[in-house]
Structure 1
């Protein structure tokens, strides 16, 4: 059998409707990790849906409790052909964000796969059930074509808490480092650069959410009787935020800004174009760090955004000075940013600006990672993608969004390769989330080619990488 036959066998999963049937069954599990009552569904998705499929492919499977004390189980499936063969660690997450069924259009149900032309609607189609289903299906087809011998070892790690911030994942990987030992990490999540261009990204921007609060007094006071005498927390907080980031989106606080973009990263980003798709928003060229291109702003630089802002009751305003104002902000950052000291940087900056009444509290946080495009694993994967599709893939040193990639790259010490099967306008996390059928079919081909090449070339590639460092800042 040949590489071409493996790819044809993989795309047959799309043409025959097998992938659609599989995804429809998986979408029907409402695995909302933000809803504690859905914990039994998380277990069912792993034990009833994934374990039987993986076991049939020769994987030994074990569902582990989450070490964070939350009922978000973690599945590890191992298929070891020979100790001397290269080992790939694969990842996916079975949980999804809330369905928000009432907000979906045209009577669509987030828990029922609905196919309309090239769009496959349903919660989890893009993030992440569709993507790990494509990878698992492609892997099964290559196993069949190669007569059961892949030529490499495979470990699957499926968590059910990614949309809740991956609680317990870092601790689990630390405890089970030997169980997860591998030579390379390959997974699929996030979007392509655009729907038409295959993409390979090797890291992700980090993220820190932080709360800013001004609490001036215990209750509100009539604005007619006290206006002009009592400080307004909303006005104070507005000016505090504007001291962090200017009116054009440029970050002002030195400690929240990244180092200059490395030359190798700038070279890779010069080949990219952001936006321009059918459902993509119009880019505000004037927004963000001046002097940078759009790809440099989203893949090579930091951004600071306000996620929520509240004071009083927006739905029912009254004539009163509110007692407090609260905003949640977020810093998306690249490698080299002093993000662990974010609270100190913000507090000091606000102090110098006269905003000692602003309280700062850190929320969710994840580190940034980046892998050079000029490494053996990246060159190998890019060559495989181009050979399969006939298209030069977009190479992103890091994704603009955030993933728990720091666990795999820094904690487990693996070169990380992400091959996304979604696109930027997929409505991820929103109503009407969808996967493009055309991208799914191409994704099956890409992954079949990648798995075939890993079996044929992995051992030689592993020898080559042993003498070369892969990470850089």
Structure 2
């Protein structure tokens, strides 16, 4: 009975084909949350997960909130032990059947070039399958977990998690835990283990100008009638500079915390061979690419329309519209984002502009666990011990997740250990999971879960958050992070 044996057992599940068979079964369930015709498949997915967890001694129940169904599972070994809440989502975006390379089906797991292809392999079926398989390895090796485990699986993350907030508000006592540990999103890079501590917030909104009822001939009326498209272009130019710098002070933090700068100092943003080339002059000056994505806010125009782009005519259009998005970090007041925009536009003489929240997207709040929190250091050291690599610590994911529900409503420290990579093509055709990454991830999670059961190595007082600015207590590890990884070359 040893930590090494648990890790080996977890990776042997992959080498023996057991994990592939499990992932193939999950991918085959067409659980598209954007497709109203897939409700039965979503129920089948929860049933499949329930049977998996019950085989590991979990007690399971189905919960409902806002007409959405959730699977809750718990294995309580002792009230005196650490309690860890896990999470995953079994829903996927549309499969885009018929568009995958080489005639692959999104619902049939396929292997090529050292990768497993299929919808959900990266987002999120493969990720929570890795975690559950690693739990199994620890349980079978130790004979018990050595900690209490809880799991929450939803089927609506891809449509903004309907019901999740209400569920966690109603059942806060049920989800009570010392720590939240889950897997979603990409690593910093394919070959570097990563921990992220929260997520950027996100708000999507529309900017529109309606000048009059209909279009008018540009020859007869050009120069006499205002052009909403020209006005909209000037509006956007007051919001963001020609190099992408945000010009509304309320939309950016007043400063980048030193703890954030420190953990990002060795993080290089690299999407791999499938990723785009970074534009070095874009964004906030003096910030590194990692600081831009993980420490700062970003503004983008997602779509614009004026007139009839498919068939332009010689007429001054009556209106112009743009859908815009702000991704923001801790330190930006979400309640002030749209009011600050309206005040900004009024100050620049654009009172004709209408600003409305997008009807299609909800608001995600920004969250970030302090990188100096002792649990961050503990998890960093556990992963380093398993992989002999220094994991990247990201203060928050560049994208958005419902992390504020776990951090703000359930009041939990949140640690995310992702098992995908930036080039995984989630939400697109040819979504995939590199097999070598899956193997390493199984070992990482088996090591983490094993260490949760080693009570003497855990940081003290797990339910008490450190006040901002206090020095974290050093956990008592049997190993030293930097000495393990001093020869690692990124």
TM-score (norm: length of structure 2): 0.92
- Could you tell me how far 1:276 is from its partner in structure 2? 6.0
- The answer to whether structure 1 residue 122 and structure 2 residue 118 are counterparts is yes
Choose 188-197 or 462-471, whichever is displaced more: 462-471
Superposed CA RMSD:
1.7
How much has 1:460 moved relative to structure 2?
Answer: 5.7
Q: Which residue of 1 aligns with 2:58?
A: 59
8 Å contact kept, 1:255–1:337: yes
Match of 2:99 in 1: 103
Deviation digits for residues 214-254 of structure 1 (CA, Å, limit 9, x no counterpart): 12233333333333333222222222112101110000011
> Any conservation in 2 of the 1:309–1:326 contact (CA below 8 Å)?
yes
- Does the 8 Å contact 2:189/2:272 carry over to 1? yes
**Could you tell me which residue of structure 2 aligns to residue 324 of structure 1?**
319
Paired residue secondary structure (1:10): helix
Matching residue of 1:448: 446
Listed as ranges, the matches of 1:316-355 within 5 Å are 316-355=311-350
Pick aligned residue for 1:469 from 466, 469, 473: 466
Deviation track 1:16-37 (CA, whole Å, cap 9, x = no partner) reads 1111111111112222212222
Aligned counterpart in structure 1 of residue 130 of structure 2, from 134, 141, 163: 134
SS at match of 2:331: coil
Partner of 2:418: 420
Identify the match of residue 268 of structure 1 among 263, 271, 286: 263
Q: Name the counterpart of 1:209.
A: 204
Aligned-partner Cα distance in 2 for 1:170–1:146: 35
State yes or no: 1:297 paired with 2:295.
Answer: no
Deviation at 1:78, TM superposition (A): 1.1
Q: Is the 8 A contact 2:201 2:365 kept in 1?
A: yes
Cα offset, 1:301, TM superposition: 0.7
Change (3 A) 1:310 1:84: same
2:163 to 156, 160, 168: 168
For the Cα contact (< 8 Å) 2:254–2:331, is it kept in 1?
yes
Evaluate the alpha carbon distance shift between residue 392 and residue 39 of structure 1 in structure 2; reply closer, same or farther with a 3 A threshold: same
Which residue number in structure 2 is paired with residue 92 of structure 1? 88
- Is the CA contact (8 Å cut-off) linking 2:72 and 2:152 kept in structure 1? yes
Range that drifts further, 266-275 or 232-241? 232-241
Q: 1:388 to 1:211 in 2, by over 3 A?
A: same
Residue of structure 2 equivalent to 1:22: 22
Q: Secondary structure at the match of 1:278?
A: helix
Unaligned runs of 5+ in 1: none
Which position in structure 1 is the counterpart of 2:8? 8
Please tell me whether residue 367 in structure 1 is matched to residue 365 in structure 2: yes
Distance 1:284 1:337 in 2: 25
Structure 2 unpaired stretches of 5+: 471-490
Partners of 1:89 and 1:185 within 8 A in 2: yes
2:398 partner SS: coil
Question: 1:77–1:156: 8 Å Cα contact kept in structure 2?
Answer: yes
Q: 1:407 to 1:467 in 2, by over 3 A?
A: closer
Normalized against structure 1, the TM-score is what?
A: 0.95
Distance 1:468 1:352 in 2: 41
**Which residues in structure 2 correspond to 1:389-404 (within 5 Å)?**
389-404=387-402
Residues of 2 paired with 1:433 and 1:410: CA distance? 32
For these two proteins, the number of residue pairs brought into alignment is 467
Of stretches 420-429 and 113-122 in structure 1, the one that deviates more from structure 2 is 113-122
Given the superposition, is the C-alpha separation of residues 55 and 472 from structure 1 closer, same or farther in structure 2, using an over 3 Å criterion? farther
Contact residue 296 and residue 329 of structure 2 kept, 8 A = yes
The match for 2:242 among 244, 247, 251 is 247
Cα offset for 1:55? 1.1
